[in-house]
Structures are given as C-alpha cells and as structure tokens.
Structure 1
C-alpha cells in the first residue's frame, strides 16, 4: 500500500513538473523576439541564401522569424511589411527593392516603434535605420579592378558591364568602384588608362538575364569585347554560357562579385577570373550581432556594418569553397 501511495505521489509530481516545463517553454516562446525579414526577391540563389540563413541563424539565436518575398514588386514589399507590423514584429530586417520605396517602408516601421536594419541593398542616409549590413562594395570591387589590370597588363581593356537593375545603389557602387579600380591600377602601373566600356546591359540579377545580356552585347560588339564585369556572380555564369556558345570564352576575361559557390567552381575551371565575397551567411550573422547589440542597449552603430572585404581568385579559391554552403 505504501509503495502504491509513493508511486501515485511520484506520478503526481512528474505530471506537475511536466506542466511547469510546458508552461515555461510556452512563456519562453511568447517572450522570443519576433524578427521580420522582408526580402526584395527570391529570384536568384543569393536572395534565397539570405532568407534561408535568416531562418537558420535566427532560430539558433532563439528568435521567431517571419520572412516574405516581394517578388521584385514595390507595392508587394510595402504590403508585406504592413502585414508583419500587424503581427507584432520586434525588428524589421529590410532588403529594399528600391531606395525610395525603402525609405517609405523604414518611415512606416519607425512610426510603429520598430527598429529597422537595412540588409544588402543600400538605402538613403536619411533613412532612420539602425544600420546597413552589407559587403564592402567599394573595397571589394576596387580589388577586382586591380586584379583585372594584373591579368591584362598594359593591354587595352574593352569591357561589357552587366548590371542588375536600374536605380539599384549596390549595383552602382559595385560597377563604379570596379571601373575606378581598373583606371587607378592602370595609371599606377602603366602611366595611363586604356579602358573602354563598350556597353552596359541589364541582367535582372539572375543567370538567364546575364545570358541574354551577353548575347545582345556579342551581337552589338562582337570581337571588340575582351572583358566582362558583372555586378553579380549568377549573371556572370549566364554570360559565360553565352561566351562558350559563341566560341568566345577563350578571348574574354570575366569578373564578378558575390562569392557564389558555383562561381567558385567556375574560377577553378578557369572560366571566371575573380569574384569577391558577399556571403549571405556572414551577412546574416552580422544582422544577428546587430540585433543582440541593440537588445543590450547599444545605439552607436556605424552607418554601415561591413563584412570583411575578400577577393577570390584561382590562387585562393580552395580556401573558401564550401560544397555544403547554401550559397
């Protein structure tokens, strides 16, 4: 009888403990920070990488993560953020489709008392964001331009530039700094600049767009082209496909930006000459670091929080290639 009473008492205590643990877990879940991530698109591996690493790294940090895909549509991105604000997010991470629309969204969130972190795509310095997390596009692309001059020596560079979309501040920063890096290196090393932009084409940030842009440039400029600069690796891979199909890849050196693992494969094969790192994993880790700092009371963030500049070429590609990377 005594054993039966002890057994019942033990079961009662165990049930109470289980309920307490359940209530504690539910309370912790209720207390978890809710982070909303508004991504400008999922059209392209880089953008998919941002969303997937946001889910992964956010959950590792104990946050509840909401993600949306604006599908390249300004109005949808505004609507996405309105929905997330209605769901009671504590922070908004914003990859804006457009700089002007981005300011509108930031103002909307700020009026609701929600701190905003800009991610990857730049936004006006007037926007009241906590900070802007991105690769150092100026440093990275000057490194690429400098490397291009190493490849060409004192020979003329006649380039096609493949850009993402008009009005994108990140794309502009990348191409301008690549061009600056080329001209500065030519003047430094050879006493004068011999650099011509034959055409700027628009690739819409994906491989198919890069393929089409390169095909059009080949029709217009043919044998004059000896270099291609792409604002994103995926577009560069499309350009490489077009150059291969036209039998021109051996005559054209291709340079790009982002550090996509399939671009690193292309570097190993000698098709792509160089890229620079814009690793989604590192970007999201920096975002989580900013959120943790803000939660701890930090307010003196820089206008830009950069991941470290990194040029990747055939000489160091094996150090940075990760076959298990989401990007």
Structure 2
C-alpha cells in the first residue's frame, strides 16, 4: 500500500511539473523577446546575408533571435519549427523550403499562438501576418527583357529553374516567360530544374550543352545556378549571355569580370532586417502590412 501511495504521489508530482512547464512555455511565447527564424538553407550566400541582416537588426532592437537551417528539407523545416516553439519564441520568421509543404510547419506555430512572417518565398494555403519579398515576377521580366535587348530581339535561350514548388521558381519563371514568349525569332530551347544549387547548375548545364548545343543565352533563377552554368560553359569553350538572380557577391564579381552579363539584385540583408523590424512591431501589438516589397535592381557591366 505504501509503495502504491508513493508511486501515486510521484505521478502527481510529474503531472504538476509538466503542467507548470507548459504554462510557462505559453507565457514565454506570448510575451517573448525571442524571435525564431527558419531558413531553407544556409548553404547559399543569399540566405547567409538574410541571416546576418536579421541578426544585426535584432541586436539593434534588443531582441534575441535564434536562426535554424532546414537544409532544403521540409521534414527538417517542421522539426526546426517544433524546436523553436519549445524554446518559447514569440514570433516565427520562415523562408520556406517549399511553398506548399511549409503549411505544415506554419500550422505548428499557429497552433501554439505564434504569429508567422514569411520571407522571399510565399506559403500556400495558410495565412501569415506578413510576407516580405522582392517582386520576383518583375525580376524575371527584367532578366528576359535584358537578354532580348542584348541580342537584338533574336534569341535561343536556356532557362535553369529553381526548386519545383517554390514560389520564387514559379514567379521568376513567369516574369521571364512574360517577357520572351510569343515573340518572333525567340525560343526557349531548354528549361530544366537545378534546384537553386551551384553544382546542380553546372551538371544540368553540361547536359544541356550536350543535348541542345545551339543557344546564345542562359537565364538562371538564381546566381548559384548561374555560376555553375558559367563553369560548365567555360569548360565547353562556349560563350553565351548568362543572367542570374539575387545579386550575391560572387555573381557581382562574375559580372565585373565579364563572365556573367547581369544579375537581378535582391537585397537579402534588407529582407532579414525588415523581417525582424516587422516581427518586433507584431510582438508589440502594432499592425503591419500584409505584403512588404523589397526593391530590385539590375547589375550589369
């Protein structure tokens, strides 16, 4: 009987401790000065700049920020969000690995009364308090128009697409095709995904050079793929116009060296900074815009 009473007391004590922890966690989330940030990958200079911009702004405003890397894996992304929820964040900033799959991760945060801001890529099928991004459609159109201008309105082009399902892939591709489709003497001879990755950009470009060697321009949905394409083209001794997207340091150097013709420059550090700035407003109970644009510009020699 004594053993049973002791066991019962231990169980009740455990229930009490768990309840206290849950209550404490909820309170922390509601009044927290801790912001969680989940990025699709940190194996890309663009998102490293975004992280640095966010961290700088958080420090300036006196907030703690915890940044986690999803490694382009939707399952890892959800695990990261669950981890941050347990850490008692007050708001989640997320750059989705996939615009559809991210709904599961965002739901985890919302179920714990944690507001969410998306950056660069949208979330489909779920509401967030704000979305911060460049106008990717406009940027894709800028790239297409620049190529046509450089080639006198006659072009055979290759398109290197980003991760299938990502809103940036869809929107940059749409803008590009809005600029080039339906025009006489203009043709996209190959359009393949290289997942925003430099090595994949190189591999896909090598395959395209072998299968469809007759082209005079490449539009890559980001600079990493463009830089991979440049390497493949150089190895094949093939000179064509290459245009990337993001304006990262390596791409700007490649433009200045004449290896790339242009890059559509985003400002990832500003995106990160704006995400934190608006996160703090939300945590203070202020209203923020649902869509917050970040200016684009074309960098060319």
TM-score category (smaller protein): 0.7 to 0.9
- For residues 170 and 76 of structure 1, what CA distance do their matches in structure 2 show? 20
Q: Which residue is equivalent to 2:282?
A: 294
Match of 1:232 among 203, 216, 222: 222
Where does 1:68-107 land on structure 2 (aligned, <5 Å)? Answer: 68-107=68-107
The answer to whether the Cα contact below 8 Å between 2:137 and 2:173 also exists between their aligned partners in 1 is no
Deviations 1:157-207 (A, max 9, x none): 111111122222211110120121234xxx8xxxx4332121122222221
For the pair 1:280 / 2:262, whether they are aligned, the reply is no
Q: Which residue is equivalent to 2:231?
A: 241
Change in 2 beyond 3 A, CA 1:272/1:53 = same
Q: Which residue is equivalent to 1:161?
A: 159
Deviations 1:229-268 (A, max 9, x none): 100011101101111111102xx11111101111111111
- For residues 148 and 98 of structure 1, what CA distance do their matches in structure 2 show? 29
Deviations 1:18-77 (A, max 9, x none): xxxxxxxxxxxxx86101011111222112222233223222221111111111221111
Q: Which residue is equivalent to 1:200?
A: 191
* Aligned residue pair count: 271
Q: Which residue is equivalent to 1:20?
A: none
Of structures 1 and 2, the larger Rg is shown by 1
- For residues 133 and 153 of structure 2, what CA distance do their matches in structure 1 show? 33
- For residues 195 and 298 of structure 2, what CA distance do their matches in structure 1 show? 24
Secondary structure of 2:72 counterpart = coil
Match of 1:264 among 241, 252, 268: 252
Unaligned residue ranges in structure 2 (runs of 5+): 1-30
- For residues 195 and 43 of structure 2, what CA distance do their matches in structure 1 show? 9
User: Looking at both structures, which has the greater relative contact order when contacts are Cα pairs under 8 Å and sequence separation is at least 6?
Assistant: 2
Where does 1:1-327 land on structure 2 (aligned, <5 Å)? Answer: 33-124=33-124, 126-155=125-154, 157-183=155-181, 192-222=183-213, 224-249=214-239, 252-299=240-287, 301-302=289-290, 304-314=291-301
The answer to whether the Cα contact below 8 Å between 1:236 and 1:254 also exists between their aligned partners in 2 is yes
The answer to whether the Cα contact below 8 Å between 2:90 and 2:283 also exists between their aligned partners in 1 is no
Secondary structure of 1:272 counterpart = coil
Distance apart, 1:310 and its partner CA: 1.4
CA-based RMSD:
1.7
Q: Which residue is equivalent to 2:22?
A: none
- For residues 137 and 255 of structure 1, what CA distance do their matches in structure 2 show? 14
Q: Which runs of 4+ in 1 moved over 6 A?
A: none
Q: Which residue is equivalent to 1:320?
A: none
Q: Normalising by structure 1, report the TM-score.
A: 0.78
The answer to whether the Cα contact below 8 Å between 1:160 and 1:199 also exists between their aligned partners in 2 is yes
Secondary structure of 1:99 counterpart = coil
- For residues 105 and 238 of structure 1, what CA distance do their matches in structure 2 show? 31
The answer to whether the Cα contact below 8 Å between 2:53 and 2:271 also exists between their aligned partners in 1 is no
Deviations 1:105-144 (A, max 9, x none): 21221121111000112211x4220111111111222122
Q: Normalising by structure 2, report the TM-score.
A: 0.85
The answer to whether the Cα contact below 8 Å between 1:135 and 1:277 also exists between their aligned partners in 2 is no
